[in-house]
């Protein structure tokens, strides 16, 4: 437990490489804990080390097959490796594990947007913003705005970017898109 907490502190400070060493230590101390593997794998992914992230996230799923977060990160890692159809299957699995997990819909929707499947992306991102409500996650609103722009739904897009900047006034990307 101590290694995970130490890693989380380092991660919040932007020290991902240092956090990774703590998460790796956590997997050595308790190799049967899905969250140890999930933290380790998702940090590898954040460092752009997707090839290494995949087996770590698969290990998390072996430890807990109902861990929607691990399924979600595995899907994102596979997506980044160009295995897009396989990634979409992982997002479906994540949603089957926990259909109320905001991040499942966020990752899935943004991946579909990148694949230019805009109508499906819109559906998934609408679910994300429905789940998060006004709790303050600007990224979902920014992604939804991008989808609306791609669908020539400009008024909706502007409204999404406005909402994103209200929730996070430091969201430079949303400000840029709102323009």
Task: Give the HSE-up count for residue 40: Cα atoms under 13 Å, Cβ half-sphere.
Answer: 27
DSSP string, 93-158: HHHHH-TT-HHHHHHHHHHHHHTT-HHHHHHHHHHHHHHHTTS--HHHHHHHHHHHHHTT-HHHHH
Lowest mean pLDDT among 61-65, 110-114, 137-141, 175-179: 175-179
Task: Give the HSE-up count for residue 38: Cα atoms under 13 Å, Cβ half-sphere.
Answer: 19
pLDDT score at 135: 67
The mean of the pLDDT values for the chain is 94
High-pLDDT (> 90) share of the chain, %: 85
Q: What is the pTM of this model?
A: 0.89
pLDDT score at 172: 86
């Amino acid at each position: 437990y101590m290694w995970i907490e130490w890693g989380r502190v380092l991660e919040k400070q932007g020290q991902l490489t240092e956090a990774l060493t703590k998460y790796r230590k956590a997997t050595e101390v308790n190799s049967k804990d899905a969250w140890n593997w999930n933290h380790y794998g998702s940090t590898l992914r954040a460092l752009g080390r997707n090839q290494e992230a995949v087996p770590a996230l698969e290990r998390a799923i072996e430890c807990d097959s109902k861990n929607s977060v691990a399924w979600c990160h595995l899907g994102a890692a596979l997506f980044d490796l160009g295995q897009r159809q396989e990634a979409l299957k992982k997002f479906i699995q994540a949603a089957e594990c926990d259909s109320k997990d905001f991040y499942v819909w966020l990752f899935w929707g943004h991946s579909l947007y990148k694949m230019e499947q805009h109508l499906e992306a819109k559906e998934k991102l609408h679910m994300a913003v429905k789940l998060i409500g006004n709790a303050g996650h600007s990224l979902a609103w920014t992604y939804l705005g991008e989808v609306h722009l791609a669908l020539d739904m400009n008024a909706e897009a502007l409204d999404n970017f406005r909402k994103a900047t209200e929730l996070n006034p430091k969201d430079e990307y949303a400000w840029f898109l709102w323009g």
